[in-house]
Amino acid sequence: MQTLESFVEGRWQAGTGAQATLVNPTTGEPVARCSTGGVDMRAALAHARDVGGPALRRLTFAQRGALLMAASRALHAQRDALIELAVLNGGNTRKDAKFDIDGATATLAAYAEWGAKLGETQVLLDGEGLQLGRSARLWGQHVWLARHGVAVHINAFNFPAWGLAEKAAVAWLAGMPVLSKPATATALVAERVTRILVDAQVLPAGALSLLCGSVGDLLEHLAGQDVLAFTGSADTGYLLRSKERLLRQSVRVNIEADSLNAAVLAPDVGPGSETWNLFLRDIVTDITQKAGQKCTAIRRILVPHERLADVEGELTARLAATVVGNPADEKVTMGPLATASQLADAKAGVTKLLGECDALLGGLSEPPLTGAAPGKGFFFGPVLLKVRDSARATLVHQHEVFGPVSTLLPYDGTAQAAAALVRKGEGSLVASVFSDERAFVRELVLAIGPWHGRLYLGSEAMAPYSPGPGTALPATLHGGPGRAGGGEELGQLRGLALYQQRVALEGDRAVIDRMFPPTPRAPSA
């Protein structure tokens, strides 16, 4: 069995002691093992801080952009090999695997282009300079400077390639070295991503480190110039953000956590219309893509009473056509959940929701499988639920089932009632509104916007071009308030703010202007 190594202090190191086992979720068979036992976390951080940091900060944005483009190309060249690993260790269909891997290369390429546009400068200005007193000589200008620490990235199991690359792209462009820790269960892809980048020698020494296995005492060595960006469950997020070391050192922490994303169908959208079809397509994609293990997936579906019967009928018919089984089989449209514990959590979550919902489709038992042996893998079929009483239901707004599960909530068709239900989620990554009536959309945007990082406005005009609400694009923000963790990532240059320090300069205008000529400006955080 393959042993995954960590890449720290500029070399590959196998961990000692007890090993975690990575499995193939289609068969339950082991595929690799890893451990971070014996890895010197303090030295790992020091190497990134002292070698990778200065090397990146010496470069201009355009030069960093060129590195990102080289990284994107190196990964794209190994796309097929990465897809195979995602099928093997993640239970991804080839389409799911491409979503993760192409998402990684596309995000690197997008930040590469923005780096090229920022040009041959190392410092970004924040807003206009301004006169501070009576004399025009006393001038104030805010600038952004790369932090001199390490960007520590702890990622969830569901996007091992994109998760690593989307965070790293932003940190590298900002000028910070990265130490990435993928979720152990699906680390095979992240390990290969790192190996490809190391072998291709596209990054300066120390710019990328990788931990395969647990974080050990890593966080006890973080300091005030470091950044911790975490994606995963709200419980782990809470544990990390409340660590005494991080609080005492004021380590900057960004949390991307649970999310009960809602989709609202407006009463103006009738069966058969473009917007109606977009609504159904987006929901089916979100339930089945990556077996519903997407932080942006639609979990709550709000439907006006008079449309409920039509939506129920169409959704159950479309979802019933899902072919569950071996993701390597071309006929299969949905693979297994990633781990045995995800399967157990999904079953427990649906059991909980059944306390206030009826099942319209699916259940707790293993669905019929294509190309896979029954009882071996971690399979769970699509589940569509409907709340018995929208006004009283609570669990559906609090408990995220991280699998192919979504719940219908009937409402009276007013934007006000829809907003009240959506807000019960207490903060999500994204909410979707499907309507061609501007007044309805505007009212909802104002009423639910502050509970979200992103709002997806589905309509007839945008339908042909839409990647769906489940796709986190590099140009728009990813993150959300409240339950979603309160974090912000991506959003074009806005994401750089996490990795840079905003500094106010007060002095002689002539000196400041000469040091930092008044272009370019960004980010606007």
State which residue, 202 or 430, has the beta carbon closest to ligand NAP: 430
Residue 181 CB, nearest distance to ligand NAP (Å)? Answer: 6
CA atoms of 277 and 284, how far apart (whole Å): 11
Q: How many CB atoms lie within 10 A of CB 504?
A: 10
Q: How far is CA 295 from CA 163, 291, 292, 409, 485, in A?
A: 12, 12, 9, 20, 12
The token pair that represents 137 in the structure block: 């000589």
Nearer to ligand NAP, 260 or 522 (CB): 260
Residue 240 CA to residue 155 CA, distance in Å, equals 13
121 binds ligand NAP (CB under 6 A): no
Question: Which listed range, 190-198, 220-228, 232-240, 326-334, lies at the site for ligand NAP (CB under 6 A)?
Answer: 232-240
Task: Tell me the sheet residues that pair with 153.
Answer: 180, 229
Copy the structure tokens of residue 499: 């990795």
Residue 128 is a catalytic residue: no
97 CA to centre of own chain: 15
- Report, in Å, the least distance between residue 34 CB and ligand NAP: 9
Least Å distance, CB 437 to ligand NAP, is 30
Does residue 75 contact residue 104 with C-beta atoms inside 8 Å? yes
Which residue shows structure tokens 């002292």? Answer: 50
For residue 261, give the DSSP letter: E
**Distance separating alpha carbons of residues 159 and 471, to the nearest angstrom:** 12
The Cα–Cα gap between 212 and 153 comes to: 12
Which residues, numbered 315-344, are part of the site for ligand NAP (CB under 6 A)? Answer: none
Residue 104: CB minimum distance to ligand NAP, A:
14
The answer to whether 444 and 219 have CB atoms below 8 angstroms apart is no
Judged by CB under 6 A, the residue of 161, 295, 324, 522 near ligand NAP is: 295
Q: What is the DSSP letter of 51?
A: I
Specify the residue, 126 or 489, whose C-beta has the smaller distance to ligand NAP. Answer: 489
Using the minimum distance from each CB to ligand NAP, give the nearer residue, 299 or 318.
299
- Taking CA atoms, 191 is separated from 86, 159, 163, 182, 509, in Å, by 12, 13, 12, 8, 49
Binding to ligand NAP by residue 473, rule CB under 6 A? no
- The closest of 61, 166, 182, 199 to 500, measured between CA atoms, is 61
Site for ligand NAP contains 402 (CB under 6 A) = yes
Of 226 and 256, which has the nearer Cβ to ligand NAP?
A: 256
Which of residues 185 and 409 has its CB atom nearest to ligand NAP in the complex?
185
Q: How many Å is the Cα radius of gyration of the chain?
A: 24
Nearer to ligand NAP, 311 or 338 (CB): 338
- Judged by CB under 6 A, the residue of 6, 26, 158, 225 near ligand NAP is 158
First-to-final CA distance of the chain: 47
For strand 383-387 and strand 405-411, is the pairing parallel, antiparallel, or unpaired?
Answer: parallel
User: Closest approach of Cβ 365 to ligand NAP, in Å?
Assistant: 23
Instruction: Please say which residue, 64 or 454, places its beta carbon nearer to ligand NAP.
Output: 454
> In the complex, what is the shortest distance from the CB of residue 296 to ligand NAP, in angstroms, rounded to a whole number?
7
Q: Total number of residues binding ligand NAP (CB under 6 A)?
A: 26
Catalytic residue (choose from 5, 191, 256, 489): 256
417 is written with which tokens?
């009632």
Classify residue 362 as exposed, middle or buried by CB count within 10 Å of its CB (0-12, 13-18, 19+).
buried
Measured from the CB of residue 268, what is the shortest distance to ligand NAP in angstroms? 31
Active-site residue, from 191, 295, 314, 357: 295
Q: How many CB atoms lie within 10 A of CB 355?
A: 11
Q: Which of 105, 107, 184, 333 binds ligand NAP (CB under 6 A)?
A: 184
**Among 23, 154, 263, 422, which residue interacts with ligand NAP (rule: CB under 6 A)?**
154
Q: How far is the CB of 111 from ligand NAP (least distance, A)?
A: 18
Among 148-156, 271-279, 283-291, 304-312, the segment contacting ligand NAP (CB under 6 A): 148-156
> Judged by CB under 6 A, does residue 181 bind ligand NAP?
yes
Binder among 31, 46, 145, 215 for ligand NAP (CB under 6 A)? 215
Give the pair of three-digit tokens for residue 168. Answer: 């790293």
231 touches ligand NAP by CB under 6 A: yes
Q: Is there a contact between 432 and 409 (Cβ–Cβ < 8 Å)?
A: no
Q: Is 191 in the site for ligand NAP (CB under 6 A)?
A: no
Active site (annotated) includes residue 256: yes
What is the length of the chain? 525
233 belongs to the binding site for ligand NAP (CB under 6 A): yes
214 is an interface residue for ligand NAP by CB under 6 A: yes
Cβ-contact 298, 263 below 8 angstroms: yes
Cβ proximity to ligand NAP: between 259 and 390 the closer is: 259
The answer to whether the beta carbons of residues 204 and 56 sit under 8 Å apart is yes
In angstroms, the Cα distances linking 286 to 403, 404, 455, 470 are: 10, 8, 16, 6
Structure tokens at 421: 């239900």
In the list 174, 429, 496, 497, the residue contacting ligand NAP (rule: CB under 6 A) is 429
Q: What x/- string results for residues 235 through 264 when contact with ligand NAP is judged by CB under 6 A?
A: -x--xx---------------xxxx-----
Whole-number minimum distance, CB 152 to ligand NAP, in Å?
10
Closest by CA position to 146, among listed 112, 174, 118: 174
CB of 40 to ligand NAP, least distance (A): 17
39 contributes a contact to ligand NAP by CB under 6 A: no
Q: Which residue has the CB atom at the shortest distance from ligand NAP?
A: 232
What residues are annotated to the active site? Answer: 256, 295
Binding site for ligand NAP (CB under 6 A): 154-158, 181, 183-185, 214-215, 231-233, 236, 239-240, 256-259, 295, 400, 402, 429, 484
